[in-house]
Chain A
Amino acid sequence: MTTRSNDSQSLQAHDGMAFPSTLPANRKYTEDYTDSIRKRVSERAHSEATESISSSNTTDARELVAGPDRSDTTSESARVEQNPSIEDALSTGFIDVRSAETIQWPIRGAHKWEGRVIEIGDEVFTAELTPLGDGDRSAIIAEFRNGVLNEDGQIQSGDLFYVTEQRVRFRGILTTQYSFRLRISGNWTFKDIQEINERSQRRWAMLQDNVE
């Protein structure tokens, strides 16, 4: 079993669809493990998409694939050794499994936005969204039902999230899927914490030097 450290490497899905090009530093994954996840994701994606498509009778059926990423809470070594459930594998915070869900079919269009929660109401939250990718990057403001991001009632003003819209054509039927991914920071290893603390001390020393 080989292990590699991912600072800037890109993991490629089997058909060439890229996983996130940059993974957090100091995260280690075994290749066997990621291959295992890919396989399971692929199996589940095929199953879900078949269900979705078979239940859709329109040419523009929108299916919301929503819910926050559940960051895994296992330590680095435990993550390598344990045999995760498919749900755990799908929910790891560092692999965009929902991108992988569509790798089996031709993608007709995809849009991504980066969002920031501005305000949370009883039923909807307000967010500022910036389109990602080339082209017009003008931010928009919009409101969404809390349920798309707030399954556990935990979102706060200032939280960041990502929205992906993908249109997939399969057997002549166009399906649009949206995925909302909440960014949850701070799933740290001891090494992460050590680095944060060291950098904090350096920054604090710099601030003291710079402030009158």
Chain B
Amino acid sequence: MNNEPPGLNSLEVSIFGPGKGESVVVHLGANKWIIVDSCVDASDDTLPAVRYLKSIGVSVENDVLMVLGTHAHDDHIVGISRVLDECKSAFYACSSALVQEDFAAVLEEDLQAELGLRKSSYSEFRKVNDITNERRIAANGKRFMKRAVEDLPLLDLQINSGLCRVTALSPSHEAVTRMIHKLAGANVVIAGKPRRPFRGDPNESSVALWIESLGHRVLLGADLLKGPSGCGWSGILTEFSPVERASLFKVPHHGAPNADEEMVWQKLLIPDPVALLAPYRAGRNPRPNRTDIERISQRTSQAFITASPDVRASRSRVKKQKVAFGNLAMNVRQTGKVGQVRARIQLGESKWNIELLAPAQELSSAGRSTRGRNS
């Protein structure tokens, strides 16, 4: 993969994923970029998206316009405050469900619980809040945070005399309402009573994006689930009907069936679109599994994944910890190396040019190596 930046009239979508986590960068054209979600390279604690942009000569400070955290899951937001900190001109966008009074209370309750402890479930959000606040003060009141909700344009630009628009397709108002109810229920605090941290399902209020630029359309599916009713893909399909369909799709939720809505492929995507995804190897049932791969491969011949979904053999430094745990721990492993799939298309072209940085590969070849796992 070369280090040439995309041309001014070139749309680029790059996805990074180490096996747990994913991050997407999009070149909208004319040196304008957005970053969607964040992951960290465990081998050196760097941010693959930022590292890549710098490697191709992008001025991360000036040319990244938006950083979006699609939802509050660890594998999508780890390191996102560091990404935002690097992208000094960018505003931060997140699900409207997370810009609520009750969510502010969850953040503060979490902080109280963390006093004297080391890890914080919501520290990324608090840091993001602080960064956007500092930017507002430094910019004399200009606001650096946007709430994403269905059918809301997050960015409008003129690129090459054409309109470039980035629109949130979700969360639906129904999904936001459901999250508000859960948050409100979580915030009944009683002195002297131990209680559990808030655990709503952030996938329900994920932010899916529709991007139109340079005559092309892209659908980034976050981890959006099929439903429940009025939410997820079912909510989008009820409200959104594009004039022209997308030619590139970031497959939602690592290819899991609970996010796979067949009508999305029929109504929102062209036949045989480019499909990109990142694996999730951290769970008991890594995704995509063999069935997921077969299903996606039936829908498109152009599916690519940032790394194999197979759990790989332990490396030496993992073995040391494995020994420390003895028989107590099973299947000790690391998430693995970060791969990249880069898709570029020029204004006026009809075919995406795909480049793979190992361990990224075609999904079909990942399917051949995935042994005996079904859903």
Contacts and interface: CB of A to CB of B under 8 A. Distances in A.
Nearest to B186: A186
A22 B20 CA distance: 32
Interface in B174-227: 189-197, 199
Contacts of A114: 118-119
- Which of B118, B191, B282, B283 has the most chain A CB atoms inside 10 A of its CB? B191
Given A116-B74, A188-B192, A183 B112 contact: no
A203 B333 contact: no
B1 interface: no
A157 B110 CA distance: 16
A71 B332 CA distance: 30
A180 to B, nearest CB: 9
A158 B20 contact: no
Given A128-B282, A176-B326, A196 B105 contact: yes
Contact of A142 (B42, B112, B330): B330
A196 B188 CA distance: 12
Contacts of B330: 124, 142-144
Interface residues of B, number: 62
A140 B108 contact: no
Interface stretch (A33-41, A46-54, A204-212): A204-212
A15 B110 CA distance: 34
Contact of B145 (A143, A165, A197, A211): A211
Interface stretch (B156-164, B246-254, B316-324, B347-355): B316-324
A24 to B, nearest CB: 5
Interface string B82-112: 0000000001000000010100110111111
A64 interface: yes
A119 B143 CA distance: 37
Interface stretch (B128-136, B165-173, B233-241, B359-367): B128-136
A132 interface: yes
B191 A190 contact: yes
Nearest to B281: A141
A75 interface: yes
A207 B94 CA distance: 12
A143 B197 CA distance: 22
A196 B197 CA distance: 14
Contact of B113 (A185, A193, A195, A204): A185
A203 B104 contact: yes
Contacts of B113: 183, 185-186
Interface string A173-207: 00010100001111111101101110110011011
Contact of A185 (B104, B110, B191): B110
A195 B101 contact: no
A186 B196 contact: yes
A188 B191 contact: yes
Contacts of B118: 114, 132
Interface of B: 20, 42-43, 74, 91, 99, 101, 104-105, 107-119, 121, 129, 132-133, 136, 143-147, 189-197, 199, 281-284, 317-318, 321-322, 324-335
Pick the 9 closest A-B CB pairs, nearest first.
A185-B113, A186-B195, A142-B329, A22-B116, A200-B105, A203-B104, A204-B104, A71-B194, A199-B108
Given A142-B333, A211-B146, A212-B91, 16 more contacts: A118-B282, A140-B333, A142-B322, A160-B121, A186-B196, A188-B189, A189-B191, A190-B191, A196-B105, A203-B104, A203-B107, A207-B145, A209-B143, A210-B129, A211-B143, A212-B143
6 contacts: A73-B194, A119-B283, A128-B282, A158-B74, A185-B112, A188-B191
Interface of A: 20, 22-25, 62, 64, 71, 73-75, 94, 111, 114, 116, 118-119, 121, 124, 126, 128-132, 136, 138-144, 148, 154, 156-160, 165, 176, 178, 183-190, 192-193, 195-197, 199-200, 203-204, 206-207, 209-212
